[in-house]
Structure 1
């Protein structure tokens, strides 16, 4: 019984560590994007909130409406980058919860005709 309990505790500890690693990883996610001409550079956090904005001097010759659209577009691109990173963190977490001997499709020990 002690070996079973040790295995249970080890499994629970591993899952807790995976959850903690995922939480840490999500906090580290930062999406970034710079426009091709370098006029606008943005950085967003894992929620897509803007955390950094840099404008080059070239924006002073642009119409304010164009600059605002460029900023919003750059933020959208950075948010997509952050979303991809967030997906990678969640995928790693999901993989840590797949039981040994189970493939990603949920099939255990071979095809459906196997006993």
Structure 2
């Protein structure tokens, strides 16, 4: 086996390892993004029930739920679920869940059928 063949084999192995590492990393990221890290039913209850939620939207660190009414909102229960802050607006509640906000939004919208 000459030196050129050996170099080609080593380069091919390194490329194969990088490709495998990329796909493993991508699979782990996708799994984490779809898992809801909190008790979703408790969040719905704290927001006045499933029927009270019009829509859910997220930014990289916050989750906003637009609501039909402000009746039955339990801000302490939302904080107990892990929100580091909660702001109640006229027709919405904005919660700071950090990086988990997108996963919670996806789970909420799946449950709401949106």
> Normalising TM by the smaller chain, what interval?
0.3 to 0.5
**TM-score, length of structure 1 as denominator length:** 0.38
